[in-house]
Amino acid sequence: MRHKDENKNENIFNATIQLINEIGLAETSMSKIAKKAKVSASTIYVYFENKEDLLNKLYLNVKKMMTEAIFNNFDASLSLQEAFENSLRKFVEFTLANKDYFLFIEQFQNSPLLNKISRDEITDICEPLYSLFEKGKKQHVFKQVDTNLLAIFTLQPLMQFVKEHFNGTTTINEANLNKVIQMSWDAIKA
Amino acid sequence: MRHKDENKNENIFNATIQLINEIGLAETSMSKIAKKAKVSASTIYVYFENKEDLLNKLYLNVKKMMTEAIFNNFDASLSLQEAFENSLRKFVEFTLANKDYFLFIEQFQNSPLLNKISRDEITDICEPLYSLFEKGKKQHVFKQVDTNLLAIFTLQPLMQFVKEHFNGTTTINEANLNKVIQMSWDAIKA
Amino acid sequence: MRHKDENKNENIFNATIQLINEIGLAETSMSKIAKKAKVSASTIYVYFENKEDLLNKLYLNVKKMMTEAIFNNFDASLSLQEAFENSLRKFVEFTLANKDYFLFIEQFQNSPLLNKISRDEITDICEPLYSLFEKGKKQHVFKQVDTNLLAIFTLQPLMQFVKEHFNGTTTINEANLNKVIQMSWDAIKA
Amino acid sequence: MRHKDENKNENIFNATIQLINEIGLAETSMSKIAKKAKVSASTIYVYFENKEDLLNKLYLNVKKMMTEAIFNNFDASLSLQEAFENSLRKFVEFTLANKDYFLFIEQFQNSPLLNKISRDEITDICEPLYSLFEKGKKQHVFKQVDTNLLAIFTLQPLMQFVKEHFNGTTTINEANLNKVIQMSWDAIKA
DNA sequence: AATGAATGAGCATTCATTCAT
DNA sequence: CATGAATGAATGCTCATTCAT
Helix (H) or strand (E) holding B153: helix B147-166
Domain annotation covers residue A86: yes
In a shared domain, residues A70 and A127: yes
CA of A23: which chain B residue's CA is closest? Answer: B112
Domain annotation covers residue C71: yes
CB C188 within 8 A of CB C142: yes
Would you call C108 exposed, middle or buried from its count of C-beta atoms within 10 A (0-12, 13-18, 19+)?
Answer: buried
pLDDT digits (tens, 9 = 90+) for A63-91: 888 888 887 777 778 889 999 999 999 99
Q: What is the largest CA-CA distance in chain A?
A: 63
In a shared domain, residues C128 and C176: yes
- Domain holding B40, by residue range, is 1-47
Domain annotation covers residue C129: yes
Q: What angle do CA A111, B162, A53 make, to 5 degrees?
A: 20
CATH classification at residue B18: 1.10.10.60
Q: How many helices (H) and strands (E) does chain A have?
A: 9, 0
DSSP-derived letter for residue A188 is H
pLDDT digits (tens, 9 = 90+) for C46-93: 999 999 999 999 999 998 888 888 877 777 788 899 999 998 999 999
Q: Quote the crossing angle between the two packed helices D147-166 and D80-97, to the nearest 10°.
A: 40
Would you call B157 and A159 a contact, using CB atoms and an 8 Å cutoff?
no
In a shared domain, residues B147 and B74: yes
CA C96 to mean position of chain CA atoms: 11
Final residue of a domain: which of D32, D47, D62?
D47
B51 touches strand F (CB under 7 A): yes
Domain annotation covers residue C55: no
Provide residues 39-78 of D with CB closer than 7 Å to any strand F atom: 39-43, 45-46
Identify the pLDDT of residue B118.
Answer: 62
Chain A environment of B152 (Cβ under 8 Å):
157, 160-161, 164
Would you call C26 and D159 a contact, using CB atoms and an 8 Å cutoff?
no
Number of domains in chain D: 2
Would you call C146 and D170 a contact, using CB atoms and an 8 Å cutoff?
yes
DSSP-derived letter for residue D142 is B
Distance CA B9, CA B15 (A): 10
Identify the pLDDT of residue A175.
Answer: 94
C29 touches strand F (CB under 7 A): yes
In a shared domain, residues A29 and A84: no
Q: A touches which chains (3+ CB pairs under 8 A)?
A: B
In a shared domain, residues D66 and D111: yes
In a shared domain, residues A76 and A13: no
Q: Is the pLDDT of residue A5 over 70?
A: no
Domain annotation covers residue A70: yes
Residues present in chain D in total: 190
In a shared domain, residues B174 and B102: yes
Q: What is the pLDDT along chain B (190 residues), one digit of tens a residue?
A: 444 567 889 999 999 999 998 888 889 999 999 999 999 999 999 999 999 999 999 999 998 888 888 877 777 788 899 999 998 999 999 999 999 999 898 888 877 777 677 666 666 767 778 889 999 999 999 999 999 999 999 999 999 999 999 988 899 999 999 999 999 999 999 9
In a shared domain, residues C108 and C183: yes
Nearest to C160 among D21, D25, D152 (CB): D152
In a shared domain, residues D171 and D142: yes
Domain annotation covers residue A167: yes
Instruction: Report the distance from CA of residue D63 to the C1' of nucleotide E17 in Å, as an integer.
Output: 28
Domain annotation covers residue A179: yes
Domain annotation covers residue B116: yes
**In degrees to the nearest 10, what's the CA dihedral of D134, D135, D141, D143?**
10
CB C164 within 8 A of CB C170: yes
CATH classification at residue C91: 1.10.357.10
Distance CA A184, CA B186 (A): 9
Identify the pLDDT of residue B1.
Answer: 41
CA distances from C111 to C44, D54, D101 (A): 22, 19, 15
Q: How many helices (H) and strands (E) does chain B have?
A: 9, 0
In a shared domain, residues D95 and D16: no
In a shared domain, residues C158 and C79: yes
In a shared domain, residues D154 and D62: yes
Distance CA D60, CA A175 (A): 83
